[in-house]
Amino acid sequence: MSPENSVGLVTPQRVRFDTPLTLKSGAVLPGFELAYESYGTLNADRSNAVLVCHALAGSHHVAGFYADDRENIGWWDNLVGPGKPLDTHRFFVIGVNNLGGCYGSTGPLSIKPETGKRYGADFPLVTVEDWVAAQARLADHLGIDTWAAVLGGSLGGMQALEWSLQFPDRIRHAMVIASAPKLSAQNIAFNEVARQAIISDPDFHGGHYAEHGVLPTRGLRLARMVGHITYLSDSQMAEKFGRQLRHGEHKFSYDVDFEIESYLRYQGNKFAAFFDANTYLMMTKALDYFDPAYAYAGHLPSALARAKARFFVASFSTDWRFAPARSREIVFALLQNGLRVVYAEIDCDAGHDSFLLDDQHYHALLRAYLENIAV
C-alpha cells in the first residue's frame, strides 16, 4: 500500500449514548457505546459525510491500518481512500461497529451493568432497524444532519435501504450492493444451520460460555464453513479449487483430500478464533428478520413509498446468495414510486463476495456514481 492511496494510520474511537434505546423487540438498552472510525474531513457545510455499513462479520475498521497492527487493513480499503472510488479527499467517511457487535460496540461481550458480568446470551436481539437508530445517534453526535450517502454490501446494503425508510430526510443517496429486500427461505435455512451448529455445541452453554470459561468454537467453525460456501460462486470454486488434491492422491481417510476441504477448514478455524458466537447468532437473526414489506402485507413498493433518497443498486451475476433477481425486486419497487435509481448487474465470477473485491467495472461504476454526488 503506497501512502498516496491509503488513508494510512487510523485510530478507532468510541462514543457513549446514555439515552435509553428501545429496540424493535421491545427490550430497552439503558445506554450503549459505538466504536467507529472516520476518514477524510467533514466539510464546513457538513454535506460530505458518508456512512459505510458492515455486513455479517465486518467492523468499523473500513480502511487504513493501525499503528500497533499494520497488517490489519480495513475490510473495504480498496474502495475508501484518497483518489479511490469513495474518495476521502472529497468525502468524510464513517465506519461503525454495529450495536451487538464484537469489535468494540456494546454487545454480548460487554459488561452488563446490573450483574457486573458479560451480557452473553442476555444481550437483546438487535435488528437492522435498531442498528440504523443507533447509527442516527452517532450522526447526531458527529453533527451530521444528512448523509451524502449511506452504502453497504449484503447486510450492509439492508442498512442503507433502511436508512432511506427510517430517516428519509437524512440520506441523499442510498447505495445498496449485493443485497435483498428480505431473505428467501433458502437464505434463512442456511442461517438456521449455522445457528444450530453454534447452539448445539456443548460449549455454548445457552450463550453463557464466558461464565464457563469456554468458547463454542466447534459450532462457530461449522457456521463459518457453511456460510463461506454461500459467499463464493460455484464457478469460482471450480476455478480456484476444482478437484485439486492436497496430497496428490486419495487418502481413504477423513483427513484433507481435496484443497477445497483445506480451504474451508482454514476459514472456519480462523473465524472461530476471534468472532463472538452470540454476535454471530444475532447477526443472522437480523438478516432473517429484515423485511420492510412485512408491515405492508408483503408489498415492497408500499414499503418503499416513504423513501426520498436517490438509489444506487448493484448485484453480481454469480451471486447465488442474493442473486440479481433480488436486487431487481428493490429496483422495481423504487421505480414504482418514481424514485431515481441507477442499477447495475455486474459480471463477476466471485459470487456474493464480489462486493468486497476491486473488480474494474464495479469500481468504475462506484467511482462514477460517487463523483456525481454533490458535496
Q: Is 225 in the site for a second copy (CB under 8 A)?
A: yes
144 within 8 A of 49, measured Cβ to Cβ: yes
Q: Is 193 in the site for a second copy (CB under 8 A)?
A: yes
Site for a second copy in 110-149 (CB under 8 A): 124-125
Task: Pick from 92, 163, 190, 343 the residue near a second copy by CB under 8 A.
Answer: 190
Shortest distance in whole angstroms from residue 199 CB to a second copy? 6
Q: Is 213 in the site for a second copy (CB under 8 A)?
A: no
Shortest distance in whole angstroms from residue 295 CB to a second copy? 12
Assigned C-alpha cell, 264: 474451508
Nearer to a second copy, 57 or 197 (CB): 197
Q: From the CB of residue 337, how many other CB atoms can be counted at a distance below 10 Å?
A: 16
Shortest distance in whole angstroms from residue 90 CB to a second copy? 40
Assigned C-alpha cell, 346: 455486474
138 within 8 A of 19, measured Cβ to Cβ: no
Q: Is 362 in the site for a second copy (CB under 8 A)?
A: no
Q: Is 222 in the site for a second copy (CB under 8 A)?
A: yes
Site for a second copy in 22-61 (CB under 8 A): 24-27
Beta bridge partners of 311: 174, 341
211 within 8 A of 117, measured Cβ to Cβ: yes
180 within 8 A of 288, measured Cβ to Cβ: no
Residue 359, annotated ligand binder?
Answer: no
Q: From the CB of residue 99, how many other CB atoms can be counted at a distance below 10 Å?
A: 28
- Among the residue ranges 62-70, 288-296, 305-313, 340-348, the one whose residues contact a second copy (CB under 8 A): 288-296
Shortest distance in whole angstroms from residue 208 CB to a second copy? 13
Task: Write down the catalytic residue from 6, 105, 110, 154.
Answer: 154
Beta bridge partners of 151: 52, 175
DSSP 166-191: H-TTSBSEEEEES--SS--HHHHHHH
Q: How far apart are the first and last CA of the chain?
A: 28
Q: Is 262 exposed, middle or buried (0-12, 13-18, 19+ CB in 10 A)?
A: middle
What is the helix, strand, coil percentage profile of the chain, to 5? 40, 20, 45
Nearer to a second copy, 153 or 207 (CB): 207
Kindly give the interhelix angle for 185-199 and 277-289, rounded to the nearest 10 degrees.
Answer: 160
Q: Is 73 in the site for a second copy (CB under 8 A)?
A: no
Beta bridge partners of 87: 81
CA atoms within 13 Å, Cβ hemisphere of 122 = 14
C-alpha–C-alpha distance, residues 19 and 97, integer Å: 19
- Among the residue ranges 55-63, 107-115, 225-233, 342-350, the one whose residues contact a second copy (CB under 8 A): 225-233
Q: Is 257 in the site for a second copy (CB under 8 A)?
A: yes
Task: Write down the catalytic residue from 105, 352, 354, 359.
Answer: 352
- 319 annotated active-site: yes
Task: Pick from 145, 192, 211, 347 the residue near a second copy by CB under 8 A.
Answer: 192
Task: Write down the catalytic residue from 77, 201, 319, 349.
Answer: 319
Q: Is 72 in the site for a second copy (CB under 8 A)?
A: no
**Which residues are known to be catalytic?**
154, 319, 352
User: Can you say which residues are annotated as belonging to the binding site for substrate?
Assistant: 224, 353
Return residues touching a second copy (CB under 8 A).
Answer: 24-27, 124-125, 182-186, 188-190, 192-193, 195-197, 199-202, 218, 221-222, 225-226, 229, 232, 234, 237-238, 240-243, 250, 252-254, 257-258, 260-261, 264-265, 268, 281, 285, 288-289, 291, 320
